[in-house]
Structure 1
């Protein structure tokens, strides 16, 4: 268990120092299923099912090179995210028209610029986790965050997998399109339908999504690809999102499934016509980490009857050639406070270990509970404020402001470090009456937000004046 001071230091400094510190990454060890099997062993405690180890793993490599040498599924020519937006499609001839619902279009420059809203890569990881947490209402019991190796070139990739409701083919198309959200729940963290695109493209140049979904006694399996590498290297003037989907029926009388199996081809029945399937698979198999349709579909084997697996590959590097997403640092402290409450039945598994939930408010000494009623807004907000247990030995202060259970502002400084009046004072509140920005890393600077900031500053100083003698 982390002390609150340690959590505060790790969560805040990892964000504040991210852009100026050099990310350290050791050579990726040979992945022998140990980490992923540990994750699955913990999952088995929830569902008591047979282990389904991932096969998306290969051998030891050094992926710090800034250039790719592979001609198939190669890494982007530029490996630095902030330089990858220098996109030139002038040399591209007009692409052939792609017919069918398996294709989605938008200009590639928007794909990159849309992702620049994430200044911090861990914020992008959190955005992907939000989708899994939203799936708790659909029965999700876990989300896995792990690193694996791309079998095509052995480079490190990011895996995020959950056992939620999954996506049917239409939901997959919506996931890969822009500006669409089908999350109607008032408690859902994601609302804009944009988080998957911004976060995945901020972490790496390419992402492949596998999903299974049970709906109306039908089990569907869909695979989608969003590849900035493909768009850059083929100089496309529009985004083409290929998808492949398969379906089979569930027997209404029992729980086992009946596959609509084609004995001649040995494959599932597809939802595409022959030409659509050929076109989509051609792009998927050339630019995704797998080389055959059988390997592509096999990636869903460890999902089970429902759930989603996201693999982000060709991860971005910094100017020193090191990956921006630092797997060797410890994001556990940040993830432990990312959500205000986590159901006991739900677990976040980071590199094979369950992340232990950390309640900041429960760790404060001399706590006070102050009700805040924003003007012209219905309802009220209970704010917990107190001293860190380590105060006054630590120079940490600020408010942890959540929105719909999700941490938006960690240790937000409403008073300055130079002002000793407030040192060590920490608060926690859930402010659902203000709206976060679409990257969920800050709030919209509205008059309601500014009034909240003023009131929290007053709270800090009032609390300090009454309680500073206790420490």
Structure 2
């Protein structure tokens, strides 16, 4: 089913055909930042400013939420379902929970990893070009179970209700919305699924640019669905043919694709099931340059600002060695970050970054003289007691590099990398690193930290004690035996502590 053609449309069909180009038969208008391009009937283009009172959309994420919205120009059709009205500004403010762009990418990787139970074998991340303006766009694609029309609406909607039921914003989770919005202003999703005896493919557009440019005071997500159970794509009409065609027209006007044929081509490499996400109009940094750097390494995606801070040609050798360590590289290299993002190595699944699989890495496997400490947190009596194994040891570069801290995972996912539990400025604990999976505490909303519960505070105290005990034992042994940190006669052992 990799190649799916549209069903031939008969006279009197329920679907209104959309022209393949916005320029056919009249004057077309394409808006760009604070300008618009008007094309006359002979193809002559003229750049003119936007009308007064219509400010340009800031291309910097942290400034894009500051605007005065004009009244909505579009009125929902009378037969539309009632739904919770959510102002477009909420899309932006909700996404500010992701301070770090890689945290947003990790959220989308999590969605693909969750599809392993549905047969997913890969997730691909790559840079592609926006076909309308050649600007870079970010592609995520997996071969998981895909989303049927109901599932894609739950994924892309911020909350909705019908006359028969009421739902609240966030019932289906905000991870997809916050992560895509943090990376770019707009996202288009293609998904194909086969549930029971029906196979479908769906297209959805969540466009901050569209919502702002058309003055919406409600988040409108145009979607079109097709039944592909037979050998063609049959449009699925829910309310009316006019609504279906209006959704398609909006998608074509505001997405990177200019024709229905181009949209359908996006399904050709998805296969019988899977999902493709394209994030475009990527955010710029304060200098007006794309925040994501695709140019310095053809096999990586980098954070431009973080990478610039670590220019190895301008720093002392010792600092350069530190900046080459995985603890520093994860700040700006997506390949480095993805390599330690999941604690257990996949057996039949790959993260493919820009055409090359990511090699998973567990720093615990390379620690010198590792020690396993079993920590038993003091839970509420109603909760079954659990034990947490922490592997702690010296990094292979110790004592030359002053790297220390704990990689703390939650349900296989890295939440806090190289968490430094000692006071800043102290050299005590340098070279000591630990790895643990703490499923008894809850991650924060952005999955880059933990909620500061009493269990978390007790864990922090225990980890500090654990690190200092190990470090003092190693340094005292080194003084007594004149060996470096410790010696190979010191075998690994296990210790149990209570929380």
Match of 1:270 among 221, 226, 236: 236
Picking from 415, 420, 424, the partner of 2:422 is 415
| Number of the residue aligned with 1:339 | 342
Choose which of 141, 148, 157 in structure 1 pairs with 2:137. Answer: 157
Distance 2:263 2:2 in 1: 21
Structure 2 distance, partners of 1:242, 1:103, is 14
Q: Distance in 2 between matches of 1:95 and 1:400?
A: 51
More RCO (CA 8 Å, sep 6+): 1
Q: Cα gap change, 1:82/1:71 in structure 2, threshold over 3 Å: closer, same or farther?
A: farther
Structure 1 window deviating more from structure 2 (446-455 vs 91-100): it is 91-100
CA contact (8 A) 1:103 1:243 kept: no
Say whether residues 1:369 and 2:372 are aligned partners: yes
Which deviates more, 90-99 or 79-88?
90-99
Structure 1: distance between partners of 2:265 and 2:181: 24
Q: CA separation in 2, counterparts of 1:437 and 1:192? A: 17
Query: Which of 218, 221, 232 is equivalent to 2:201?
Result: 221
Partner of 1:430: 437
Preserved contact between residue 142 and residue 163 of structure 1 (Cα < 8 Å)? yes
Q: Matches of residues 231-242 of structure 1 in structure 2 within 5 Å?
A: 231-242=211-222
User: 1:226 Cα shift?
Assistant: 0.3
1:175-214 correspondence runs (5 A): 175-178=155-158, 193-214=173-194
Deviation at 1:393, TM superposition (A): 1.1
2:455 maps to: 448
TM-aligned CA deviation for residue 282 of structure 1: 1.8
Superposition deviation, residue 294 in structure 1:
1.9
Q: Is 1:77 the counterpart of 2:44 in the alignment?
A: no
Cα contact 1:103–1:241 (8 A) shared by 2: no
Alpha-carbon separation, structure 1, partners of 2:410 and 2:129: 35
Aligned twin of 1:24: none
Match for residue 313 of structure 1 among 265, 280, 291: 280
> Which residue in 2 is equivalent to 1:280?
247
Q: What is the aligned partner in structure 1 of residue 148 from structure 2? A: 168
Counterparts in 2 of 1:331 and 1:191: CA distance versus 1, 3 Å:
farther
Shift of the 104–311 alpha-carbon distance from structure 1 to 2, 3 Å rule, reads: farther
Question: Structure 1 residue 124: deviation in Å?
Answer: 0.7
Residues 211 and 307 in structure 1, CA contact (< 8 A), matched pair in contact too: yes
Alpha-carbon offset, residue 234 of structure 1: 1.1
Q: Is the 8 A contact 1:102 1:276 kept in 2?
A: no
CA contact (8 A) 2:148 2:202 kept: yes
Unaligned runs of 5+ in 2: 5-31, 40-49, 161-169, 297-301, 303-332, 479-483, 486-499
Structure 1-normalised TM-score?
0.77
Give the superposition deviation at 1:416: 2.7
Task: Name which one, 1 or 2, has greater alpha-carbon Rg.
Answer: 2
Question: 1:323 — aligned with what?
Answer: 290
Q: Deviations over 1:176-215 (max 9, x none)?
A: 12379xxxxxxxxx99621110000000000000000111
CA RMSD in angstroms, aligned pairs only: 2.7
Write out per-residue CA displacement over residues 358-415 of structure 1, whole angstroms, 9 at most, x where no aligned residue.
Answer: 0111011110101111112531111111110111111111000001111000000101
CA distance in 2, matches of 1:441, 1:402: 10
Deviation at 1:67, TM superposition (A): 5.8
| Distance in 1, Cα, partners of 2:152 & 2:354 | 27
- Which residue of the other structure, out of 393, 401, 405, is the alignment partner of 2:400? 393
Partner Cα separation in structure 2 for residue 192 and residue 427 of structure 1: 35
How many residues are aligned here?
387
Distance 1:442 1:162, change over 3 A: same
Over 3 Å counting, the alpha-carbon distance change for 1:391 and 1:219 in structure 2 is: same
Picking from 445, 468, 474, the partner of 1:467 is 474
Paired residues of 1:104 and 1:177 also in contact (CA < 8 A): no
Contact (CA 8 Å) 1:103, 1:240: kept in 2 or not? no
1:275-321 CA distances to partner (integer Å, 9 max, x unpaired)? 22112112111111111122112211110000000000000001101
2:352 is aligned to 349
Indicate conservation of the 8 Å contact 1:192/1:438, yes or no.
no
Q: Per the alignment, do residues 398 and 310 of structure 1 end up closer, same or farther by CA in structure 2, a change over 3 Å counting?
A: same
Change (3 A) 1:121 1:274: same
The structure-2 alpha-carbon separation of the partners of 1:122 and 1:299, relative to structure 1 and needing over 3 Å to count, comes to same
TM-score normalised by the chain length of structure 2: 0.73
Q: For residue 124 of structure 1, what is the aligned residue in structure 2? A: 104
| Distance 1:380-1:136 versus aligned 2 partners, 3 A rule | same
